[in-house]
Structure 1
């Protein structure tokens, strides 16, 4: 029992000594860690450097993409304020309201309105209430021109039949007319006389109408709502008519008071007559605001150019060999000469160069104030037309460059480069993780091997100590 106990104690001690590296006198755990780290250090350093490089590339490309997107959206926001557009105005705002049309206007126009377009208004006989039944059958709307007690039908307009069901009320008739798509609206007015059906047509002389009734046999009464001017002209409260006006001495008529196809760059809404007192329509001059906008644009482009030049520096640039950076530089270098208004007349400004944008040999932008001033003096409206949120113009051009840079489907785009660099960085991270796992596996194997070695060294030292003790004992016995 004592021998077993001594053996167990000796074995436990040996294990503790071995784990501490006391058998050989070497810290084998630390040695295993250092050897494993040394084995993978160069490869891990290489991956770390590559990851750092990719991080810088992603950051640089993202910064340039953000700058271009911000520049584009800023131009769009500036344009939407309307400060850069050529806007029409009218001297007598009581006669008409004016707003910018799809084209760009210039010059001035004289406007005299002799009559406004009106719609027909018809008031039907009174009923006790809107819930009063009216009989059933079919109401038919026919359209044309009403003059006095006569009606001249318009063959180009199809009559509209409206079915009135049995038990229908006056309110039901109004609902049916509104749902017919005829262009005639209806409602029930509860006035002093009682409940009366009111009908209102569209503006324009040929939008007059008559109402015919075909009654259901045995459920008569619908004919009470039929109307022609010959039957009872007193029900007619407003006659449909055209608008009549004169622009610069030329007479015009229109079916509506809203006129968008006569003056270039102007949408008109006629609101009153001014017979014998013509008013004037003119256009604003946005020259001052355009000058300020061009100064801001040059500053913004120089900020982009500065960041781009730094990123593409052949010695230290993060994007010095990136195709998307080269594509953006090409777009900026050619920007001043790019035709942003392809439909402009030969004598009108069509490029940013016409607005004074100029690029120097070092890639920076400057504003040619003299050229801008000449353009604004000769063609202020045409210069204003370049500032639009449409597909052409300053915004459209900058927006295309920004979108091309942000695209992730195009080959040479910052968006594609960011996607590519991000994928590479993920791959590098996965490789680094695998190396760390391999390093840990090697460390554990070395720890295991060193433990075995340390045990053997410890055993050898024990044997040597025993032999030395025996020899010392023999020498002592001889003495």
Structure 2
């Protein structure tokens, strides 16, 4: 777009023949070129430093995160060995390390109460208007002891409700406490209601119909209590019962928690009179694998440090955060992982086989690792948990220390410093651009004024020449 100065010069016919607009732009650009080039070069260097510091920080935090995932997903937990696997399945929550040998005898499996109602012609048969109430408690033979701490569930049946729609209302109102559906058997359509496992989850069905006989079409036809039971009760609610090391225990469900060391049992069958054995063994193969992966990841970080923090040519060659990371890596094998370890038990990463070479790279001393796993398997396995101590906790602290932005001597502190300086450089470039534009605008105005004067002088000179020519012709 043509500016005001350019328009004026064009109107005057560019009397001097000089492109003052271009000249003003070139002079202003040249005046600030040194500053602009210096700041741009610094900005480029800062961007490279930010990228390098971010890469190193990401590698360190990524290693800690990956190690935490391996610990939390249970890969390194001790493996359970059950003599009779048909009796139960054993699981170990991530981060726990149960130990010991046990005997297990399951005498009763937990069961849910199951009611199969009397027959209707079809799922679309009307059940009758009224109120259906479910009360929870313990069913024992012909008696029922209500649980006063649990609220009853009331379902309103309308004149248009069918067996199928009533089942849906029960499911919605109970919130999973009772599962209801319609089974179409040889005897017709029957409402099946099934509670949760555990003796305390028994229930009775109180049906208050609008009147009429106790027959299909009247809601009272669906009522049930143990005192009036005929064939509706097909399964009684009961707890699981078992003996762990001969100690009698019960559980309201077949998933048993709160056991020694935190392991969980999922009971599936009884073995009364024939107890089975349960033991835990360290997962040495998995521990060896994770230590090898750990060493490989550390060497990747060392290689990055050697490149990015090289004294000559490295983006972080003289950076205090990179130097601190190098020192921390050099001392990693001697870091105490388990401060409370007893004599003879592994305390440091070095005790798990982490060793450092003369060139600063790492290697896995498999002989030392195997010795720790064989001599002190429980202590070695305890180092791979999610507690405040252990391999993961140590590496998590290592990553946090090197990422701390409030510490000017850490990698995080360096990154913050680079980002602050980069922001300042961006602001400086903006100010230079503004000052350059102000200079260009001022020069343009001055050159425009000069061009006017030149144009005026040329006009005067042309007039004088014309007059001289006239005078000369007259005298001749």
* Distance of 1:369 and 1:99 partners within structure 2: 29
SS of equivalent to 2:48: helix
* Distance of 1:64 and 1:305 partners within structure 2: 10
| CA contact 1:154–1:206 (8 Å) conserved in 2 | no
SS of equivalent to 1:274: coil
* Distance of 1:449 and 1:182 partners within structure 2: 90
Deviation of 1:144 after TM superposition, in Å, equals 0.9
Q: Which residue in 2 is equivalent to 1:110?
A: 103
- What does the per-residue CA deviation read over 1:143-170, in whole Å, with 9 as the maximum and x for residues that have no partner? 11323xx325155653514243342433
Q: 2:380 aligns with which of 380, 383, 403?
A: 383
Q: 2:239 aligns with which of 233, 237, 242?
A: 242
Q: 2:185 aligns with which of 180, 191, 202?
A: 191
* Distance of 2:112 and 2:14 partners within structure 1: 108
- What does the per-residue CA deviation read over 1:20-66, in whole Å, with 9 as the maximum and x for residues that have no partner? 79xxxxxx999988876664454334324322331332232122123
Report the number of matched residues.
445
- Which residues in structure 2 correspond to 1:131-210 (within 5 Å)? 131-147=125-141, 150-153=142-145, 155=147, 157-158=149-150, 160-167=152-159, 168-178=161-171, 179-181=173-175, 183-210=177-204
Q: Which residue in 1 is equivalent to 2:420?
A: 420
Counterparts in 2 of 1:392 and 1:219: CA distance versus 1, 3 Å? farther
Q: Which residue in 1 is equivalent to 2:225?
A: 228
1:286 aligns with 2:283: yes
> Structure 1: where are the runs of 5+ without partners?
1-11, 22-27, 463-479
Q: Which residue in 2 is equivalent to 1:352?
A: 349
| CA contact 1:104–1:382 (8 Å) conserved in 2 | no
SS of equivalent to 2:228: coil
Q: 2:17 aligns with which of 16, 19, 31?
A: 19
- What does the per-residue CA deviation read over 1:386-441, in whole Å, with 9 as the maximum and x for residues that have no partner? 44567764345434554665677887516534532431342243245346546756
Which of these two proteins has the greater Rg computed from alpha carbons? 1
Q: Which residue in 2 is equivalent to 1:466?
A: none
SS of equivalent to 1:84: coil
Q: 1:58 aligns with which of 50, 53, 58?
A: 50
* Distance of 2:56 and 2:425 partners within structure 1: 19
Q: Which residue in 1 is equivalent to 2:86?
A: 94
Counterparts in 2 of 1:443 and 1:53: CA distance versus 1, 3 Å? farther
* Distance of 1:161 and 1:152 partners within structure 2: 17
Counterparts in 2 of 1:321 and 1:255: CA distance versus 1, 3 Å? same
Counterparts in 2 of 1:61 and 1:142: CA distance versus 1, 3 Å? closer
Counterparts in 2 of 1:89 and 1:158: CA distance versus 1, 3 Å? same
* Distance of 1:34 and 1:124 partners within structure 2: 97
* Distance of 2:158 and 2:14 partners within structure 1: 107
* Distance of 1:17 and 1:163 partners within structure 2: 100
* Distance of 2:272 and 2:239 partners within structure 1: 16
Deviation of 1:189 after TM superposition, in Å, equals 1.7
1:304 aligns with 2:301: yes
SS of equivalent to 1:240: coil
Counterparts in 2 of 1:145 and 1:341: CA distance versus 1, 3 Å? farther
Cα root mean square deviation, aligned: 4.6
Q: Which residue in 2 is equivalent to 1:68?
A: 60
Q: 1:295 aligns with which of 274, 292, 296?
A: 292
SS of equivalent to 1:373: helix
* Distance of 1:73 and 1:356 partners within structure 2: 21
Q: Which residue in 2 is equivalent to 1:6?
A: none
Counterparts in 2 of 1:313 and 1:434: CA distance versus 1, 3 Å? farther
* Distance of 2:375 and 2:136 partners within structure 1: 55
* Distance of 2:297 and 2:226 partners within structure 1: 69
SS of equivalent to 1:125: coil
| CA contact 2:28–2:436 (8 Å) conserved in 1 | no
